[in-house]
Structure 1
C-alpha cells in the first residue's frame, strides 16, 4: 500500500481502554482512521497480543494515515491528534499520544464545547503552521504552560505577516531599500512583550480577561493588566530555577493554584491563536 502508515496510539477514553466505534475523518485530503488495529497490523505485530500482561487486542488502538508522504506524516499525525482530542464527542482520561516516541482539563473542554471553536466536519484543511499543533499537543500531554506559551511565540512574527507583505509591496513600487530594511528590522527587533501584546490584541480575549480576573490572576479587568500578568507569569516559569535560591515561604497550594490557573488561560489563548492562523 502506497503512503500508508499505522501507529499504536494511547487514547484512553473514559468508558473503556479502547474506542467502541471507529473514528474516521480527513486532514488535508489524507484519510485518518482511529480505533481497532487493522488485520495487517495484527499480523505484523502479533507478538503484542500474546504478551502475558495483555488481553489480546482488546486494549490496543491505532491511528492509520492513508496518502500522506513520509515528509508530511509527523505533522499530519499531530494535526489528527489535535482534532480528535478537541473536536470529537469522546471523553478522555488523558491526552492522546503515540507510543514510542498527560493532563485532562475538564474546564478547558467545557470552554471549547461552549464556544464551538472548531467547526465539525469530516475533511479538515490545515495547510499551514501545523508545528503549532504539535506544541499544543505537548502542552496537553504534560500539562505544561510553557508549551502553550510557545504556541503564542510561534505566531509572533506570523502575526506581522500583513505588515511585512505591505513593506515588500511598497519596495516593489518605490525601490526604497532602506525603508524596507528598517521596516523589517523594526518587526524583528520588537521586544518579546511587545510581540506578545500585538498578538494577544489580535485575538478575541474579553472572555479570557474576565476569567483571569475572576481567578484573581490580575488586579484589573483590562488588556494592559492581563498582558502584564501573563508576561510576568511566563518570566516566573522560565526563571524559576534562578529564583529558587531565595527562601520565600509561600504555601504550596497557593503556588499550584496560580500555575494551574495560568496554564488553563494559556491553553485557551493557544487555541485561539491556532484557530486564527491554522483553520
Structure 2
C-alpha cells in the first residue's frame, strides 16, 4: 500500500479531494498502530502524530501539541497556517520577514485539514480544496512561537497588503470558514424567531406599522453590516444604551403620579435626577433586569462557558460591561492591561458580539416594533 492509499484509508472524505491537493505526495508515513500515523510534511519540517478516534459513527483526530484556531488556522512547533479571505484575488507568493518564511498558496497542508476535519463534512469546502480555491498563509521559522504568533501574523498581513499589487483595493485578512454541516457555537440564537416568521413580508403583504426609535434601528443596521467584526459589538451595544432611559418609563410614571399637582417639584426633580445619575454599569444592569425572562438562556450560557462568574443577570451584566470597556477603551477596567485582537480568545469575542446582538433584537421587538 503506497502513502496515498494509506491516507485514503486513514482520512475518509479527504480521499474525495484530488490527489494534487496534497502539497507533498512523497512525504513519509509511518504506521505506528492501527489508529495512528506519524507524518512529516516538507512544508512543516517536523513530524506530527495523528490519532484516529471513531465513536458513534463519528470520526475525530487528536494531534498532539497542535493549537487550533477553529475553522481558521493552526500552530505547531514553529509553523503556523491560516486561511485567507477567499473573496480576494490572490496568487501564490513567497517572501521572508527577518528569519521567518512566509508562503501564500492554494494547497492547505494535510495537518491543517486533519486539524479541521469537521469542515470536510461540508461539500463546498471539499470542492473548494479540490479546485484550489482556498488559499492559506503559512509562517515558519525558529523564532516563531505561540507568544509572538499574532504579531508575526500581523507583520505578514501588513507586508502582503502594503506591498502586494493585488491588495491596493482590498486589504488582506484572515478568514473563518463557516461550517454549515455542524453548528457547535457556544451560543445558540435565543431571539424570538417565531415572531419574525409570523410577521414576515409575505404574511404582512408588505404592510408594516411605523417603527419607533429609528436611531436604534440605524445602530442595529450598522452592526449587522459588519457582523462578526469586533466593531459590530459597539453598534449593538449602542442599541442597549439607547434604551437605558426608555426602559425606565414606568419608573417616571410612578414618580409623576406620586405628585400629580407638582406640589413637591424639587423632590420630583431630585428623583428624576437620581434615575439619570446612575453609572453606566448600573444602567446596563437595570436594563437587563427589565428583560430578565427573555435572556435566561444567554445568562446561563455565559456562566456555563466561564464568561460570567454566576448564573445571574447581575454577574452577566458585570461581565458584559467589563468586555465593553475592554473594547471601547482598549484596556480592561480592573487591571488596565492593553487589549489587542487575540485569535486564542476568538470564542469569547464571538460570544459577546452574538449575545449583544440578540439582546438588541429583543429590545427592538419590545420598543421599536411594539411586539408583545
Task: Say whether residues 1:238 and 2:328 are aligned partners.
Answer: yes
Alpha-carbon distance between aligned partners in 2 of 1:117 and 1:145, rounded to the nearest angstrom? 24
| Aligned pair partner of 1:273 in 345, 359, 363 | 363
RMSD of aligned Cα (Å): 3.4
Alpha-carbon distance between aligned partners in 2 of 1:142 and 1:261, rounded to the nearest angstrom? 16
Structure 1 unaligned residues grouped into runs of 5+: 1-102
1:246 Cα deviation from its structure 2 partner: 5.3
| Aligned pair partner of 1:140 in 213, 217, 224 | 224
Contact 1:212 1:265 in 2 (8 A): no
| Aligned pair partner of 1:170 in 258, 261, 267 | 258
- Are the structure 2 counterparts of residues 224 and 141 from structure 1 closer, same or farther at C-alpha, using a change threshold of 3 Å? same
Contact 1:104 1:140 in 2 (8 A): no
| Aligned pair partner of 1:257 in 316, 327, 347 | 347
Alpha-carbon distance between aligned partners in 2 of 1:104 and 1:177, rounded to the nearest angstrom? 60
Alpha-carbon distance between aligned partners in 2 of 1:260 and 1:115, rounded to the nearest angstrom? 20
User: What CA deviation, in whole Å up to 9, does each residue of 1:26-75 have, x standing for no partner?
Assistant: xxxxxxxxxxxxxxxxxxxxxxxxxxxxxxxxxxxxxxxxxxxxxxxxxx
Task: Say whether residues 1:184 and 2:272 are aligned partners.
Answer: yes
Alpha-carbon distance between aligned partners in 2 of 1:134 and 1:238, rounded to the nearest angstrom? 19
Tell me which residue corresponds to 1:111. Answer: 189
Contact 2:300 2:311 in 1 (8 A): yes
Structure 2 unaligned residues grouped into runs of 5+: 1-175
- Are the structure 2 counterparts of residues 104 and 206 from structure 1 closer, same or farther at C-alpha, using a change threshold of 3 Å? farther
Secondary structure in 1 aligned to 2:259? helix
Alpha-carbon distance between aligned partners in 2 of 1:197 and 1:142, rounded to the nearest angstrom? 26
- Are the structure 2 counterparts of residues 253 and 117 from structure 1 closer, same or farther at C-alpha, using a change threshold of 3 Å? farther
Alpha-carbon distance between aligned partners in 1 of 2:284 and 2:338, rounded to the nearest angstrom? 31
Q: Which has the larger radius of gyration?
A: 2
Contact 2:308 2:315 in 1 (8 A): yes
Alpha-carbon distance between aligned partners in 1 of 2:275 and 2:242, rounded to the nearest angstrom? 15
- Are the structure 2 counterparts of residues 142 and 125 from structure 1 closer, same or farther at C-alpha, using a change threshold of 3 Å? same
Alpha-carbon distance between aligned partners in 1 of 2:191 and 2:272, rounded to the nearest angstrom? 40
Contact 1:217 1:262 in 2 (8 A): no
- Are the structure 2 counterparts of residues 255 and 158 from structure 1 closer, same or farther at C-alpha, using a change threshold of 3 Å? same
Tell me which residue corresponds to 2:245. Answer: 157
Structure that is richer in strand per residue: 2
Alpha-carbon distance between aligned partners in 2 of 1:114 and 1:172, rounded to the nearest angstrom? 38
Contact 2:331 2:338 in 1 (8 A): no
Secondary structure in 2 aligned to 1:175? coil
1:271 Cα deviation from its structure 2 partner: 0.7
1:114 Cα deviation from its structure 2 partner: 6.9
Alpha-carbon distance between aligned partners in 2 of 1:199 and 1:246, rounded to the nearest angstrom? 28
Secondary structure in 2 aligned to 1:171? coil
Tell me which residue corresponds to 2:318. Answer: 228
User: What is the total number of aligned residue pairs between the two structures?
Assistant: 176
1:225 Cα deviation from its structure 2 partner: 1.8
Instruction: Kindly report structure 1 stretches of 4+ aligned residues shifted beyond 3 Å.
Output: 103-110, 112-115, 245-248
Q: Which has the higher contact order (CA 8 A, sep 6+)?
A: 1
1:113 Cα deviation from its structure 2 partner: 7.8
TM-score, with structure 2 as normaliser: 0.42
Secondary structure in 2 aligned to 1:111? coil
Structure that is richer in helix per residue: 1
